Chains A and B, each alone.
Chain A
Amino acid sequence: QQPVQSPQAVILREGEDAVINCSSSKALYSVHWYRQKHGEAPVFLMILLKGGEQKGHEKISASFNEKKQQSSLYLTASQLSYSGTYFCGPQFGNEKLTFGTGTRLTIIP
């Protein structure tokens, strides 16, 4: 039941855009997004609480399609600091937060 993320890995040049997708086989209640840099703890980016919701965090935003059981993370005009592994974390009510398979993002100058 681990959510599947795509792509698994992506390499971008600074300034380029990226989209990371998260698909769940189970109905979604809310979706968290985290970024983890190598050797560090995951850092909370945002949470989407209902279908159709979109949120933004600097140049990082996300959408949540409840019907399709999907969420997408959008990174615009990527910066070197955006490098890391991104995890979605669907949550079903008060149940555990389950992390997706992860997407490794590498930004090169």
Chain B
Amino acid sequence: DAGVTQSPTHLIKTRGQQVTLRCSPKSGHDTVSWYQQALGQGPQFIFQYYEEEERQRGNFPDRFSGHQFPNYSSELNVNALLLGDSALYLCASSPGRGNYGYTFGSGTRLTVV
């Protein structure tokens, strides 16, 4: 049973560009959350998708947007990239929005130059 799959694994972008990261949740999971993890820091919540809608959002600017598809997979889009957006982006899935453990993907390492 495949867990959470993220693509690509690594990405280098130039400041000002746009990027799209993709996530396929674990089988049976319908809720996807995205996190940003800077080096040496804990994961910071970006937003959560459930039933194809953004249900909650963390303290991230509108440059960060997302989408969830009918098959529960999800995308994270970041526009007008800044150097400070360089981080590991983690996708986590769960079988609902409530009290369930999250399964994390291995992440996408984004470097903005």
* Chain A positions near chain B (C-beta within 8 angstroms): 2, 29-30, 32, 34, 40-44, 46-47, 49, 87, 91, 93-102
Contacts and interface: CB of A to CB of B under 8 A. Distances in A.
Contact of B105 (A41, A44, A95, A99): A41
Nearest to A50: B99
Nearest to A2: B42
A31 to B, nearest CB: 10
B32 to A, nearest CB: 12
B97 interface: yes
A2 B45 CA distance: 11
Contact of A44 (B45, B58, B103): B103
B98 interface: yes
A28 to B, nearest CB: 12
Contacts of B41: 102
Central interface residue in A40, A93, A94, by most chain B CB within 10 Å: A94
B33 A97 contact: yes
